[in-house]
Chain A
């Protein structure tokens, strides 16, 4: 992951957009997501930078950033695993999937593996109810999971990061 909050191109893009639209504040999630995509999470400097681009106070950005469960205001692993614990996944073995992940990765919910690769978090419904149980890793949704299939997916995600 790049160690910049926003690239020069992104900075230009957001500054131009903010100047040409009537309500620059509507871009706050776009900017925060761009920072998170580059940096992995949104540090205080990211909140300040967002405010500076959109002419908002850091507090105005912070109250939005902390509202959303998919904006990370703390360091997370390179891939966040969101485990669906809503009713359809629950009815088809989500608890087993969640327990398996905790055991395999050696972390509790909210934790990050010691190699900094995976962070484990619960999430509400992913909209994959017909393929329950499901998890989302990064922005990819995986359904019809069994512990075995999950192990293969974790392997693949790890390998993809090493490339």
Chain B
């Protein structure tokens, strides 16, 4: 199995500059700066088919074409290391193991986009990752990979770590920009998009940790190599999958993108725990629709998962066994979103608590068939109508509960109690 991002990863260890360079670290930067124009670097990323690893899956090279790369002046590269989607911990694993992967990826990306300043926005709980990054940044400066006139070129880049203080909404890219500016982290209205008016009103690109960490490898090995890493025809690259929930083993691993859900569950997760059977999973974090047992042969890549009715999201796979009450699981998810709502727009601030109230009523055994219709109405009124993607994402598991597990919902109502309560 080709390891790209996790090639230096050893249990309980962090690799810094010496170890990183031993396996080819900073060769991508040298190649980019010495032998390629920024335009050629952008072209390579576009051709590689790399898609954003933070949840939305937008093609990175295409996103960068909206950015005024050839305009000089104040512009920002922001790495979103907030990683708060429940079920998602891949960026943490990468930063615990090999922080230079991100630092080099950011420098090469900044070169490609002619950006002089970068920020890594990192969540409160990732203190060790923050310290690893600060050390990696200091080492990179010392080695001449960061700072003024990098590798003797005209290109200069400075990089800062911003430690946050909680709240899921900070992972939404425009809320993140407000947070970085020291404002209340409510999302901004789009357009203008960050590429036009972002941090401090200047052109900004916001990319995920794993996305940026792939860039230097594409430069060293070429776009074709990158596309060849995938297990699917349409895919590109490897993917960090973080396993969680009811599995015998819950590791985070780097696999060819498009590895099937069955292989991930049975082989890498050691099967469903306690000898039980697979009931459902969230394939890519809390805001992705459930997949059921009939979807086990789905390759976990963007296109095949969409065909199966869900999304790759972040690649955090949370599995539920056959004893799990899906109403209770959905209630837990929705209550998370309700609590983390920033309160800016009505569908989110008022709609999500109402959805939790309905789900709780059904879970208690006091629901009626009419409540299902009210729930459907709420989904319609919230999905796609909230100011940002938070509440829309929240509705995805709720809608898929009604699509895939309607019998179970109705069973709660008919019996007047949760049929799965132990």
CB within 8 Å of B: which residues of A? 22-23, 25-30, 32-33, 54, 63-64, 67-71, 82, 85-88, 90-92, 123-132, 136, 139, 141
Q: How many Cβ-Cβ contacts under 8 Å join chain A to chain B?
A: 130
A-B contact pairs, 24 of them (CB 8 A): A22-B200, A25-B182, A26-B162, A26-B182, A29-B163, A29-B165, A54-B182, A67-B167, A69-B166, A69-B167, A87-B282, A88-B318, A90-B329, A91-B244, A124-B168, A124-B340, A125-B87, A128-B92, A129-B318, A130-B89, A131-B250, A132-B245, A139-B124, A139-B127
A70 to B124, CA, bound (A): 8
- Chain A: CB-nearest residue to B179: A29
- The answer to whether A67 and B182 touch across the interface, beta carbons within 8 angstroms, is no
Distance (whole angstroms) from the CB of A27 to the closest CB of chain B: 7
Q: A87-B332, A124-B336 are in contact. Are A25 and B163 (CB under 8 A)?
A: no
Q: Which of A23, A125, A126 has the most CB of B within 10 A?
A: A125
- Which B residues lie within 8 Å of A123 (CB)? 166
- Which A residues lie within 8 Å of B166 (CB)? 68-71, 123
A90 to B325, CA, bound (A): 12
- Which B residues lie within 8 Å of A25 (CB)? 181-183
Distance (whole angstroms) from the CB of A37 to the closest CB of chain B: 11
Chain A CB within 8 A of B242 CB: yes
Within 8 A of A (CB), among B173-219: 179-185, 200
A129 to B85, CA, bound (A): 10
Given A22-B200, A131-B250, 5 other A-B residues pairs in contact with their CB atoms under 8 A: A26-B182, A87-B86, A124-B84, A129-B86, A130-B242
- The answer to whether B200 and A23 touch across the interface, beta carbons within 8 angstroms, is yes
Distance (whole angstroms) from the CB of B140 to the closest CB of chain A: 21
- The answer to whether A126 and B125 touch across the interface, beta carbons within 8 angstroms, is yes
Chain A CB within 8 A of B252 CB: yes
A131 to B251, CA, bound (A): 9
A27 to B181, CA, bound (A): 8
Contact partner, A127, options B126, B162, B251, Cβ 8 Å:
B126
- Which B residues lie within 8 Å of A82 (CB)? 125
Contact partner, A68, options B167, B318, B339, Cβ 8 Å:
B167
- Which A residues lie within 8 Å of B339 (CB)? 124
Q: A26-B182, A64-B183, A130-B250 are in contact. Are A125 and B85 (CB under 8 A)?
A: yes
A132 to B252, CA, bound (A): 13
- Chain B: CB-nearest residue to A95: B332
A2 to B282, CA, bound (A): 45
Chain A CB within 8 A of B4 CB: no
- The answer to whether A125 and B86 touch across the interface, beta carbons within 8 angstroms, is yes
- Which B residues lie within 8 Å of A91 (CB)? 244-246, 318, 320, 324, 329
- Which A residues lie within 8 Å of B162 (CB)? 26, 29
- The answer to whether A87 and B318 touch across the interface, beta carbons within 8 angstroms, is yes
- Chain A: CB-nearest residue to B343: A67
Distance (whole angstroms) from the CB of A58 to the closest CB of chain B: 14
- The answer to whether A33 and B89 touch across the interface, beta carbons within 8 angstroms, is no
Q: A125-B88, A127-B83, A128-B89 are in contact. Are A86 and B286 (CB under 8 A)?
A: yes
A71 to B163, CA, bound (A): 12
- Chain B: CB-nearest residue to A68: B165
- The answer to whether B84 and A130 touch across the interface, beta carbons within 8 angstroms, is no
Distance (whole angstroms) from the CB of B372 to the closest CB of chain A: 22
- The answer to whether B332 and A23 touch across the interface, beta carbons within 8 angstroms, is no
- Chain A: CB-nearest residue to B181: A26
- The answer to whether A129 and B244 touch across the interface, beta carbons within 8 angstroms, is yes
Distance (whole angstroms) from the CB of A41 to the closest CB of chain B: 13
- Which A residues lie within 8 Å of B245 (CB)? 87-88, 91-92, 132
- Which A residues lie within 8 Å of B126 (CB)? 127
- Which B residues lie within 8 Å of A22 (CB)? 200
